[in-house]
Structure 1
Amino acid sequence: MISTEARKKTPQRSTGSRSQRQTPKVPIIKKDFTENSPDLTEATRHPDLPRVLNLLQDPISEKMSDEMNYAGVVTDSLSQMGYLMRVSNVAVQEQICASIISLYSPDKAKHYGNGVCTTSLVYRRELVERSGLAETLLMSLALLEKQLSVKLHVLQALQILSRSSAVNCSLILRADGAQKICFHMNEPDPSGQMLFRSTEILWNLLDNGSREEVTKQLSNMDCIMVLKEAFLHHLLNGFRHYDQQLRNDLLVITTLIAENPSAPLIESGFAKQLILFATLPELRSHDPLIRNFKPTFTNEDFEMKKLLLNLIVVLCRDLAAVQLFKESRVMLALMLLVRPGSSESRRSGKARRSWTSVQQEELQLQALAALATVAPLMQDEYMACQANTCLLVLLDWCTQQGADSFLGQGQGFHGSGGRGGRKAQMRYCLRLLRYMASLSNSLINQDLCDQGAISQLIGLTRRFQERNEEEDAVSLEIQTDVLVTLSSLCEGDVHRKDLFGAEGVEMAVRYLKTDPAQLYSGLGHNRLVLSAVDCVWSCIVGCYTTEDLFLEKEGAFLLLDFIQSSPRSMHNVALATLLELCDNPKTLAHVEAWRDEKELTAPALLLQLWRKEEAEIGIKRDQHGRIADEKKPLLTMYQEQEPLESIPANTPSPAVIDVSENLRAKIYAFFCRLGFEDLPGLTAEDSITLSIVSSYLDFKVAEVWNEVTAELELEGVRPVTPDAEAVSAIVRTSEDKVKHVSSLQQSIVDQKEQEDLHQEKHAYEEISLNRKQQELTAKSWEHHVAKTSNYQILKESKLLQERSIESSRLREKPEGFTFHSTQISSLQTTNFCGRVLAINSTPTELTGGPLANTDLALERVPIQGGALRKVSASNSDLELPNTVTVT
Structure 2
Amino acid sequence: MLSSAPHSSGFIHKQVLSDRKLQSETLRFTELSRVLQLLQDPLSSSLKERQIFILKKLVKRCQRGFLLRDLADIFKIVNLCAERVSDHPEYARVLCDLLQICGLPFLKEKSSDEMNYAAVVTDCVSQMGYLMRIPLPEVQHQICSSVIAFYSRDKHKPSFDGVCPTRADYRALMVERSAVAETLVMSLALMEEQLPVKLRLLQTLQILSRSSEVNCNLMLRAQAAQKICFHMSEGDPSGQLLFRSSEILWNLLENGSREEVTAQLSNGDCIASLKDTFLHLLLNGFRHYDRQLRNDLLVLLSLIAENPGAPLIESGFVKHLTLFATFPELKSHNPLVRNLKLSFNHEDFEMKKLLLNIIVVLSKDLAALQLFKEGRVMLALMLLIKPSSSAARSGRRSWTSIQQEELQLQALSTLSALAPVMLDDYMSCQSNTCLLLLLDWCLQDDSFSGRGHGFHGGGGGKKAQMRYCVRVLRSVTSAENEPLKQDLCDQGAVGQLLDDSQPTLCSGVLRWFVGRPEDEDAVALEIQMDCQFVLSVLCEGDMHRKELFGSEGVEMLIQYLSLDAALVFSGLGHNKLLLSTVDCLWSCVVGCFVTEDAFVAARGVDLLLRLLQRSPRRMLTPLMAVLLELCENPQAVTHLLQWSGERDATAPQLLLHIWRTDEERMGVTREPHGEIADVQWPIVSRHQDPSSNSAAVRDVSENLRANIYCIFCKLGFEGLSGLSAEDHVTLSIIHRYLDFKVGEVVHEVSAELSDEGASPVLPDEAALKSILEVSKATAECVRSLQQSILGRRQQEELQEEQRLYREIRFTHKQREIAAEAWRNYVTRTSNYSVLKAFRRLQEERSTGEHDAPSDGENTLRSINQPIAE
CA apart distance, 1:542: 1.9
Q: Take 2:106 and 2:810, find their aligned partners in 1: how far apart are those partners? A: 101
Counterpart of 1:520 in structure 2 is 569
Aligned pairs (5 A) from 1:292-371: 292-342=339-389, 346=392, 351-371=395-415
Structure 1 residues 587 and 807 mapped into 2: Cα distance closer, same or farther (>3 Å)?
farther
Counterpart of 2:228 in structure 1 is 181
Q: Take 2:287 and 2:72, find their aligned partners in 1: how far apart are those partners? A: 51
Aligned pairs (5 A) from 1:548-697: 548-640=597-689, 644=692, 653-697=694-738
Q: Do 2:95 and 2:139's aligned partners in 1 also have CA atoms closer than 8 Å?
A: no
Aligned pairs (5 A) from 1:138-537: 138-342=185-389, 346=392, 351-404=395-448, 410-418=452-460, 421-459=461-499, 460=508, 461-467=510-516, 469-537=518-586
- Once the two structures are superposed, residues 189-231 of structure 1 have per-residue CA deviations (whole angstroms, 9 ceiling, x without a partner) of 2222222222112112221222122212222222221211111
Greater mean deviation of Cα atoms: 117-126 or 11-20: 11-20
Q: Look up the equivalent residue of 1:380 and give its one-letter code.
A: D
CA apart distance, 1:585: 1.0
Superposed CA RMSD = 3.4
Q: Do 2:612 and 2:623's aligned partners in 1 also have CA atoms closer than 8 Å?
A: yes
Q: Take 2:620 and 2:487, find their aligned partners in 1: how far apart are those partners? A: 34
- Once the two structures are superposed, residues 401-448 of structure 1 have per-residue CA deviations (whole angstroms, 9 ceiling, x without a partner) of 34448xx65221110021xx3111111111112222333322222222
Q: Take 1:726 and 1:43, find their aligned partners in 2: how far apart are those partners? A: 106
Q: Take 2:542 and 2:26, find their aligned partners in 1: how far apart are those partners? A: 94
Q: Do 2:385 and 2:408's aligned partners in 1 also have CA atoms closer than 8 Å?
A: yes
Q: Look up the equivalent residue of 2:670 and give its one-letter code.
A: R
Q: Greater helix percent: which structure?
A: 2
Q: Take 1:223 and 1:780, find their aligned partners in 2: how far apart are those partners? A: 117
CA apart distance, 1:712: 3.5
Structure 1 residues 59 and 585 mapped into 2: Cα distance closer, same or farther (>3 Å)?
same
Q: Do 1:216 and 1:260's aligned partners in 2 also have CA atoms closer than 8 Å?
A: yes
Q: Take 1:42 and 1:756, find their aligned partners in 2: how far apart are those partners? A: 118
Q: Look up the equivalent residue of 2:733 and give its one-letter code.
A: I
CA apart distance, 1:541: 1.9
CA apart distance, 1:702: 3.0
Structure 1 residues 696 and 797 mapped into 2: Cα distance closer, same or farther (>3 Å)?
farther
Q: Do 1:688 and 1:745's aligned partners in 2 also have CA atoms closer than 8 Å?
A: yes
Q: Take 1:62 and 1:773, find their aligned partners in 2: how far apart are those partners? A: 111
Greater mean deviation of Cα atoms: 87-96 or 194-203: 87-96
Structure 1 residues 711 and 215 mapped into 2: Cα distance closer, same or farther (>3 Å)?
farther
CA apart distance, 1:763: 4.9
Q: Report the secondary structure of 1:462's partner residue.
A: helix
Q: Take 1:808 and 1:207, find their aligned partners in 2: how far apart are those partners? A: 118
Counterpart of 2:867 in structure 1 is none
Q: Do 1:181 and 1:198's aligned partners in 2 also have CA atoms closer than 8 Å?
A: yes
Matched, 1:127 2:145: no
Counterpart of 2:44 in structure 1 is none
Q: Take 1:442 and 1:628, find their aligned partners in 2: how far apart are those partners? A: 53
> Paired residue for 1:738, among 766, 779, 785?
779
Matched, 1:707 2:715: no
CA apart distance, 1:149: 2.2
Matched, 1:13 2:24: no
Q: Do 1:244 and 1:301's aligned partners in 2 also have CA atoms closer than 8 Å?
A: yes
CA apart distance, 1:779: 7.2
Counterpart of 2:37 in structure 1 is none
Q: Take 1:484 and 1:370, find their aligned partners in 2: how far apart are those partners? A: 20
Q: Take 2:352 and 2:814, find their aligned partners in 1: how far apart are those partners? A: 94
Q: Look up the equivalent residue of 2:453 and give its one-letter code.
A: Q
CA apart distance, 1:26: 4.6
Q: Do 1:434 and 1:485's aligned partners in 2 also have CA atoms closer than 8 Å?
A: yes
Q: Look up the equivalent residue of 1:307 and give its one-letter code.
A: L
Identity %: 56
Greater mean deviation of Cα atoms: 761-770 or 175-184: 761-770
CA apart distance, 1:39: 13
Structure 1 residues 659 and 321 mapped into 2: Cα distance closer, same or farther (>3 Å)?
farther
- Once the two structures are superposed, residues 236-274 of structure 1 have per-residue CA deviations (whole angstroms, 9 ceiling, x without a partner) of 111111111111111111111111122221222111111
CA apart distance, 1:184: 2.2
Q: Report the secondary structure of 2:311's partner residue.
A: coil
Q: Look up the equivalent residue of 1:305 and give its one-letter code.
A: K
Structure 1 residues 178 and 655 mapped into 2: Cα distance closer, same or farther (>3 Å)?
farther
- Unmatched runs of 5 consecutive residues or more in structure 1: 1-10, 648-652, 813-887
Q: Take 1:665 and 1:432, find their aligned partners in 2: how far apart are those partners? A: 38
CA apart distance, 1:583: 0.9
Q: Take 1:26 and 1:90, find their aligned partners in 2: how far apart are those partners? A: 25
Q: Take 1:473 and 1:359, find their aligned partners in 2: how far apart are those partners? A: 24
Q: Take 1:601 and 1:26, find their aligned partners in 2: how far apart are those partners? A: 96
Q: Report the secondary structure of 1:14's partner residue.
A: helix
Q: Do 2:108 and 2:163's aligned partners in 1 also have CA atoms closer than 8 Å?
A: yes
Q: Take 2:847 and 2:432, find their aligned partners in 1: how far apart are those partners? A: 103
Structure 1 residues 576 and 780 mapped into 2: Cα distance closer, same or farther (>3 Å)?
same
Q: Do 2:409 and 2:468's aligned partners in 1 also have CA atoms closer than 8 Å?
A: yes
Q: Do 2:266 and 2:304's aligned partners in 1 also have CA atoms closer than 8 Å?
A: yes
Structure 1 residues 101 and 684 mapped into 2: Cα distance closer, same or farther (>3 Å)?
farther
Q: Take 2:20 and 2:135, find their aligned partners in 1: how far apart are those partners? A: 36
- Once the two structures are superposed, residues 463-495 of structure 1 have per-residue CA deviations (whole angstroms, 9 ceiling, x without a partner) of 222435251111122222222222222222222
Structure 1 residues 55 and 576 mapped into 2: Cα distance closer, same or farther (>3 Å)?
same
Q: Take 2:829 and 2:313, find their aligned partners in 1: how far apart are those partners? A: 124
Q: Report the secondary structure of 1:624's partner residue.
A: coil
Aligned pairs (5 A) from 1:87-126: 87-108=134-155, 110-126=157-173
Counterpart of 1:880 in structure 2 is none
- Once the two structures are superposed, residues 693-739 of structure 1 have per-residue CA deviations (whole angstroms, 9 ceiling, x without a partner) of 22332333333333333333444434344433333333333333333
CA apart distance, 1:70: 3.1
Structure 1 residues 216 and 687 mapped into 2: Cα distance closer, same or farther (>3 Å)?
farther
Q: Report the secondary structure of 2:560's partner residue.
A: helix
Aligned pairs (5 A) from 1:714-733: 714-733=755-774
Q: Look up the equivalent residue of 1:364 and give its one-letter code.
A: Q
Counterpart of 1:859 in structure 2 is none
Q: Look up the equivalent residue of 1:417 and give its one-letter code.
A: G
TM-score in terms of structure 1 length: 0.81
Q: Take 1:127 and 1:665, find their aligned partners in 2: how far apart are those partners? A: 70
Q: Take 2:433 and 2:122, find their aligned partners in 1: how far apart are those partners? A: 69
CA apart distance, 1:527: 1.6
Q: Do 1:699 and 1:734's aligned partners in 2 also have CA atoms closer than 8 Å?
A: yes
Q: Look up the equivalent residue of 2:780 and give its one-letter code.
A: K
